Amino acid sequence: MKHICVVFRHAPFGATSSREGIDFALLSASFEQQLCLVFTDEAVLHLLADQQPELAGSKDYVSVFKAFDLYDIEHVLVCETSLQRFGLTLEDLAISAQLASSTVITEQLQQADEVLVF
């Protein structure tokens, strides 16, 4: 088992990298790796409620986020600075996530065996 940190940096639906990153994260979790997900920059927008990915011709991979618990993905960090930049708070998010300062995110990256950025 390895400690894998998956970092999301892109806005939803403009590119497909997040969708394929989520696929990787869920697969890693089902292979019983220790996972930490970090949403930063525009990727924090993935976590907003009431999204309609179909309107952008995208598969609804966002609703999968509610299943993170089922996959035993406990560590979901949201970059505090990025949220503030969009005028958002944790209450705006559709899933429960941990507000993280850049220091906390740095610690997670240092603790991880491998880091993947999508």
Partner 1 sequence: MMKKFIIQVNGPAYGSTSSYKALQYCQAVIAAGHQIEKVFFYQDGVTNSSSLNCPASDEVNLYQLWLRLANEHNVPLINCVSAALRRGVLSQQDAYESNKAHWNVDAPFVMGGLGELVTGIEQADRFVSF
Residues that bind partner 1 (CB under 8 A): 1-2, 4, 16-17, 20, 23-24, 27-28, 31, 33, 114, 116-117
Cβ-contact 104, 63 below 8 angstroms = no
Q: Where are the alpha helices (DSSP H) in the chain?
A: 17-30, 80-85, 102-111
For partner 1, the closer of residues 46 and 93 by Cβ is 46
Nearest distance in Å: CB 28, partner 1: 5
Nearest distance in Å: CB 93, partner 1: 26
Angstrom distance (rounded) from CA 44 to CA 83? 7
Provide the phi-psi class of 41: left if phi over 0, else alpha when psi is between -120 and 50, else beta.
left
For partner 1, the closer of residues 17 and 98 by Cβ is 17
Nearest distance in Å: CB 88, partner 1: 28
Angstrom distance (rounded) from CA 27 to CA 25? 5
Nearest distance in Å: CB 111, partner 1: 16
For partner 1, the closer of residues 40 and 97 by Cβ is 40
